[in-house]
Amino acid sequence: MLFKGFSATFPARSTAGFLLLILFFVGSGSCASGSDQGRAQSRLPSVTLDITRSGLPVARLIAEVADSDTERERGLMFRKDLSDGTGMLFVFPSDQRLAFWMKNTQVPLSIAWIESDGTISEIRDMTPFSLAPVESGRFVRYALEVPQGWFARSGVEAGDRVVIPEAQRVPADSK
């Protein structure tokens, strides 16, 4: 399982490991450089993502692409808003079980866990500032964060397919 944390995305293998991670983050505050504390990362390059069901269009959005460790770690932290029809696509180098949290993220979000073929395996809502991990139930390659409720408002559901552009199928730090 992975945590999108303050300054590290890393595997956690056990309950004891999870507790140690929590103690580390609580005790250390932020490991980010002082100049980056409390600031959102700059806007990342964006792509248009089409979401389909049985090959027919369901929705379209513009997503920033977080495809390096640094970008994935920072994500949407410290952002003050996120417009409907926009989001952030997190690209990982391999299929794995993922867990994200909402530390320093004030915008209510929904997250779609996406398999390597683009199929949405599940959609979950996340609570601003929560340290509780939101875990994927399956091995996935991507995560897509959008304003909370956007998937439902747009008619997107588990089983739909996100068309991932070829250039985003492999993270930048794996190329």
pLDDT band at 168 (very low <50, low <70, confident <90, very high): confident
pLDDT at 134 over 70: yes
3-state secondary structure of 40: coil
As a whole number of angstroms, the distance between CA 137 and CA 120 comes to 11
Q: Are 123 and 157 in contact (CB under 8 A)?
A: yes
DSSP code of residue 45: P
As a whole number of angstroms, the distance between CA 146 and CA 160 comes to 16
**pLDDT mean over 89-114:** 97
Query: How many other CB atoms are found less than 10 A from the CB of residue 19?
Result: 11
Q: What is the pTM of this model?
A: 0.79
Taking Cα atoms as reference points, which of 52, 47, 33, 121 lies closest to residue 89?
Answer: 47
pLDDT band at 30 (very low <50, low <70, confident <90, very high): very low
